[in-house]
Each structure stands twice: as structure tokens, then as C-alpha cells.
């Protein structure tokens, strides 16, 4: 597997869960550990690609040989992705991106004074923006974390966001997905659904890259 089949590719990978501050000491986050995105970064690097890893906070050791761009919020991740986009031949969005941010970030630590209502505003959809700016020869791969009707919601995301493929995770299944060292997925394109049964995230990263390289091959049109 560790042949140089990705040499010449510059892969931009996002990983981890973005955080949106409520006040100087609190944030809204999610359960992403960054393991899936880091496994993809390491696998692509080993296969000869240049890797730019845009990472939300994680407890992980950065994979060697990858350029790491640390970010915290969705806004920072978006800015970093758009800044590095012109270099990338392949974009893989494994990050769990906050869909909402508090409309107001309090300057001082909030006091506990009774019931609290927080006003949220939607964040930008980085994947949709990246797919809209795609130039010929560039592939955009998204992820989707779903808890019900996974295939239907995954297909909807693929079409709505304009990605070339979506790696669909059914995160309602015990023992895989968020934070685990193991995962299972369905690799969805416009006309295929490839089942990738439970395995380590390192193995799954290579399986995903195998299918991405299939998308690179010229297709026979009959
Ligand atoms: O990090 P781990 O602990 O290893 O867990 C891995 C994982 C389960 C987090 C990962 O494999 C995964 O599923 N990542 C995507 C999680 C997610 O945010 O899914 P989503 O369905 O909300 O988003 C769909 C896609 O749009 C994703 O590619 C996401 O990066 C992107 N997105 C979402 C919202 C937003 N504002 N901007 C985006 O670009």
C-alpha cells in the first residue's frame, strides 16, 4: 500500500472539532477527536502526497511530514482553508465543523444568575464554498456524521454541497465514529455507494484514499 501512488498531489485535510466561544472560559464544541483526519493525513503523506493539515484543537501528536495549520473557530478554519485552496489538488473535509456560533461573545465570564438563553447564528458552510470554487482536476471530498436515515441524508449533502464524494459515518453505532480508534463508512458518489465495514481509522484512511484515486482515473464513456 505504501507505494508512491499519491506523489504529485497536494492534499488539504481538515480535522478535529471547531470551537465557538461563549465567553473567555467557555466554548461550544463537539465530540470529534481529530483521529480520522489525522489518520488520513498520515496515510496520504506515506503515499507520497504533500499534506496541509488544518486542525481544530486535538490531543493528538501531529503526523510527521505534514504541515500543520492550527485553528480554533469555524471562521478561522474557513480563512485557513480558503488561503491554502489554490495549492490543493485534493481537499478532504474530515473536520466536525460547528454549524452555529453564539451571536455575541461575552467579554467577561458569564455569571450564573438563573435561566439562560443564548442566541446563535449559522456559521459559513466551508465545504459548500470550497466545492463552488473548484477548478478542473481538483477533487473535493466531504464527510457526513449522521444519526438517522444515514444514506438519504448523506446523498442529500453530496448533492446540496456539490462535493465529488461524501464519506458517510453512521455515528449512532456504538464503539465507532467519534473518538474511537475504529470506524466504518459508506463512500458515496453521485452514482455509487461503497460499503467500508468496521476497521481501524488508519486502515479506513487508506481505503478512502484508494477510492479517491479511482475517481482520478479517466472513465470510459459508452
Ligand atoms: O475526529 P474523530 O473523533 O476521529 O471522529 C471522526 C468524525 C466522526 C468526526 C468524522 O469522521 C466525521 O464524520 N466528520 C464530519 C463531521 C461533520 O461535521 O459532519 P456534518 O454532517 O455536520 O458536515 C458535513 C460536511 O460539511 C463535513 O465535511 C464538514 O466538514 C462540512 N461542514 C459542515 C458545517 C460547516 N459549517 N462547514 C463545513 O464545511
> 145 CA distance to ligand 1 centroid (A)?
6
Asked whether residue 187 is assigned to any structural domain, the reply reads: yes
Asked whether residue 222 is assigned to any structural domain, the reply reads: no
Asked if 7 contacts 48 with a C-beta cutoff of 8 angstroms, the reply is yes
Number of domains in the chain: 1
30 noted as active-site residue: yes
State pTM to two decimals: 0.96
Asked whether residue 129 is assigned to any structural domain, the reply reads: yes
User: For atom 35 of ligand 1, which residue has the closest CA?
Assistant: 125
Asked whether residue 50 is assigned to any structural domain, the reply reads: yes
Q: Give the pLDDT score at 1.
A: 58
**Alpha carbon distances (Å) from 41 to 38, 138, 163, 166, 170:** 5, 17, 19, 17, 22
pLDDT tier, 24 (very low <50, low <70, confident <90, very high otherwise): very high
CATH label of the domain that carries residue 49 = 3.40.50.10300
Q: Which three cell numbers stand for residue 44?
A: 496520504
Q: What is the ipTM of this complex?
A: 0.97
Domain carrying residue 173: 10-100+121-216
> Distance between CA 175 and CA 160 in Å, rounded?
29
Q: Give the pLDDT score at 217.
A: 85
Q: Which of 30, 149, 183, 191 is catalytic?
A: 30
Asked whether residue 204 is assigned to any structural domain, the reply reads: yes
Asked whether residue 114 is assigned to any structural domain, the reply reads: no
93 ligand 1 Cβ < 6 A:
yes
145 ligand 1 Cβ < 6 A:
yes
User: For atom 9 of ligand 1, which residue has the closest CA?
Assistant: 32
Asked whether residue 201 is assigned to any structural domain, the reply reads: yes
Question: Residues 51-104: pLDDT tens digits?
Answer: 999 999 999 999 999 999 999 999 999 999 999 999 999 999 999 999 999 999
Asked whether residue 2 is assigned to any structural domain, the reply reads: no
Q: Which of 31, 56, 145 to mutate to test the pocket of ligand 1 (most atoms within 8 A of CB)?
A: 145
Amino acid at each position: 500500500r505504501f507505494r508512491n501512488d499519491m506523489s504529485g498531489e497536494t492534499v488539504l485535510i481538515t480535522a478535529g472539532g471547531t470551537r465557538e466561544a461563549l465567553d473567555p472560559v467557555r466554548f461550544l464544541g463537539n465530540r470529534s477527536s481529530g483521529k480520522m483526519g489525522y489518520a488520513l493525513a498520515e496515510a496520504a503523506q506515506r503515499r507520497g502526497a504533500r499534506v496541509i493539515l488544518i486542525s481544530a484543537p486535538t490531543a493528538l501528536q501531529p503526523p510527521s511530514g505534514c504541515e500543520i495549520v492550527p485553528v480554533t473557530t469555524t471562521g478561522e478554519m474557513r480563512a485557513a482553508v480558503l488561503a491554502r485552496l489554490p495549492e490543493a489538488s485534493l481537499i478532504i473535509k474530515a473536520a466536525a465543523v460547528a454549524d452555529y456560533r453564539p451571536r455575541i461573545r461575552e467579554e467577561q465570564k458569564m455569571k450564573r444568575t438563573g435561566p439562560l438563553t443564548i442566541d446563535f447564528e449559522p456559521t459559513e458552510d466551508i465545504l459548500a464554498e470550497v466545492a463552488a470554487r473548484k477548478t478542473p482536476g481538483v477533487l473535493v471530498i466531504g464527510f457526513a456524521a449522521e444519526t438517522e436515515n444515514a444514506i438519504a441524508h448523506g446523498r442529500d449533502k453530496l448533492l446540496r454541497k456539490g462535493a465529488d464524494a461524501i464519506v458517510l459515518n453512521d455515528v449512532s453505532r456504538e464503539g465507532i465514529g467519534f473518538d474511537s480508534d475504529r470506524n466504518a463508512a459508506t463512500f458515496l458518489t453521485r452514482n455509487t455507494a461503497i460499503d467500508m465495514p468496521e476497521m481501524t481509522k488508519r486502515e479506513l484512511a487508506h481505503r478512502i484514499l484508494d477510492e479517491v484515486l479511482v475517481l482520478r482515473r479517466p472513465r470510459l464513456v459508452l
